[in-house]
Amino acid sequence: MTTTSTATRVLDHGDGRGLQAVLLDMDGTLVDTEDFWWQAEVTLFAELGHALTDEDRAQVVGGPMTRVIDYLVGTTGVDLAPADLTALINQRFVDLLAGGVPLMPGAERLLNTLAAHGIPAALVSASHRHVIDIVLRSLGAHHFAFTVAGDEVPRTKPHPDPYLEAARRLGAEPARCVVIEDAPTGVRAAEAAGCPVIAVPSVAPIEPAQGRLVLSSLEQVDLELLRSLVTSRV
């Protein structure tokens, strides 16, 4: 599935201060796929003669794949071209997705709440388009105005480009778009774009900071909280 539109305008609030949109990461935030990525990486590297550790997992969570590959090659010294290693990991991950993808607790309720109140949601992921399209079969493409894939922007996370692109398509101000992320890489991208952030860590720890709220579950996120993060900044 490609993006559903190149520009989706959002309704503005009369005071110019309200919440305009919610931009959501995918892996580890809305769907419980971080274990799938890790299983793909661990099993592949075991076959190549390298044992990955929990310390390695904390380093690779959140992608993007280029950064993951650079780290894994540098750490293990595996004798494979980055492009070949990327293809092997992606294929193994896709195979694991065949049985469906579990949603994170609170994900479906949050997406339904946004839809019920007319708050646009966009999916912004470092995963490539073909992976997003597979996950959307479980997650539901109808929940999102559009999706932004990591291979559809010049620079993906931790650069701000994906979130700036999502705000641009929505005709929204980044400061009025709340981002929900699970990994430090994505948090850095969102903050560099100027968005308020809710972090729900999945693997690597994330500390609270100015403009960043750290929660233990999406079940703690409601519309009142989302709106409060915007009005406290603008």
- List, for residues 33-91, the tens digit of each pLDDT value: 888 999 999 999 999 999 999 999 988 988 788 889 999 999 999 999 999 999 999 99
d(CA 222, CA 229): 11
The pLDDT of residue 16 is 57
Tell me which DSSP letter residue 209 carries.
Answer: B
| Pure H helices in 101-218 | 107-116, 129-139, 161-170, 184-192
The pLDDT of residue 135 is 93
Tokens for 137?
A: 């079969």
- Name the nearest CA neighbour of 19 among 226, 166, 161: 226
Judge whether 230 and 224 are in contact, CB under 8 Å: no
Give the CB-side neighbour count of residue 145, counting CA atoms within 13 A.
Answer: 26
pTM recorded for the entire structure: 0.84
d(CA 60, CA 200): 17
Cα 206 to Cα 71, 149, 155, 220, distances in angstroms? 20, 23, 23, 17
The pLDDT of residue 200 is 98
- At residue 224, the 3 state secondary structure works out as helix
The pLDDT of residue 99 is 82
The pLDDT of residue 100 is 86
